[in-house]
Each structure stands twice: as structure tokens, then as C-alpha cells.
Amino acid sequence: MNPLKSGPSSASRGRQMSEQRFNGKTRRFFTSLVLPVDPSRTGECTRCGACCKFVVVCPFLRYADGDPNSARCAAYPVRPLQCRKYPRTKDEQIHQPCGYRFEDGGE
Ligand code: SF4
């Protein structure tokens, strides 16, 4: 097999995925500072904790008795806007399954 014709290497794909994740997290941080949550959002958090482990595991993430669906934030009253508003829009909803949905497809 010719490596020049086989497309991007797995290292290249991994680097590309890391960049996409970093860009998604950066975008989420800035948009949450000024933009509201899409009003079409319905549902509720199922406490899976996936959004608390995006790129890095949040040091405030806790689980009750190792139950994977019991995620809670140890800094909940003062959590940052990017956590408070997640998922702000369908476009920024990276984790699936998530308990939130967007009725009209979001922004
Ligand atoms: S990914 Fe969705 S359901 Fe899971 S903890 Fe985050 S907001 Fe809640």
C-alpha cells in the first residue's frame, strides 16, 4: 500500500480531531459570554458528565458512589457560563446522547 495515496495518517487524523475539540471548547467559552441559550432547547440534563470531561476532566466533577449517571458539579453555584449554558445551541452540542434537544434545529 502506498502511504502517499492512503489519505491522512492516524496521527494526522488524531491531531485534526484534537484541534476540532479545542476549537469547539474555545468557541463555546466565548459565545457563552455574550449569547443566550437557544429558546427552542428542551429536555434536561441526565447527569452523564460528558460535557464536564471535554478536552480535560473538570476538577469539580464528582460522581456519587461511582454511578456514571450521577455527575454533579462541586462548584455548581459559581460554575462558569460555558457550563451553565451548555448546550447553548444545537451547533455547540457536541456530546451525544445528551438530555437536551433543540426543537427547530437550533441556530
Ligand atoms: S452532556 Fe448533556 S446530559 Fe450529559 S452532563 Fe452535559 S448537559 Fe447533562
Atom of ligand 1 nearest to the CA of 49: 5
Alpha carbons 74 and 92: distance in angstroms, whole number: 24
Q: Which of 79, 72, 69 is nearest to 99 (CA)?
A: 69
| Measured distance CA(79)–CA(69) in Å, rounded | 19
Q: For the chain, what are the domain ranges?
A: 11-91
pLDDT, tens digit, 9 for 90 and up, residues 66-93 = 898 999 999 999 999 999 999 999 999 9
Mutational pocket test of ligand 1: of 95, 96, 102, the residue with most ligand atoms within 8 Å of the beta carbon: 95
Residue 44 DSSP label = -
Total-model pTM: 0.77
Residue nearest to atom 2 of ligand 1 (CA): 98
* CB 14 less than 6 A from any atom of ligand 1: no
What are the 10-residue block averages of pLDDT along the chain, 107 residues in total? 60 77 83 96 96 92 91 97 96 92 72
Instruction: Judge residue 88's burial from the number of C-beta atoms within 10 Å of its C-beta, 0-12 exposed, 13-18 middle, 19 or more buried.
Output: buried
Atom of ligand 1 nearest to the CA of 100: 2
CB neighbours of 28 closer than 8 A, spacing ≥ 6? Answer: 82, 86, 88, 92
The answer to whether the beta carbons of residues 73 and 52 sit under 8 Å apart is: yes
Q: Give the 3-state secondary structure of residue 41.
A: strand
For a pocket test of ligand 1, which of 46, 84, 92, 96 has the largest count of ligand atoms closer than 8 A to its C-beta? 46
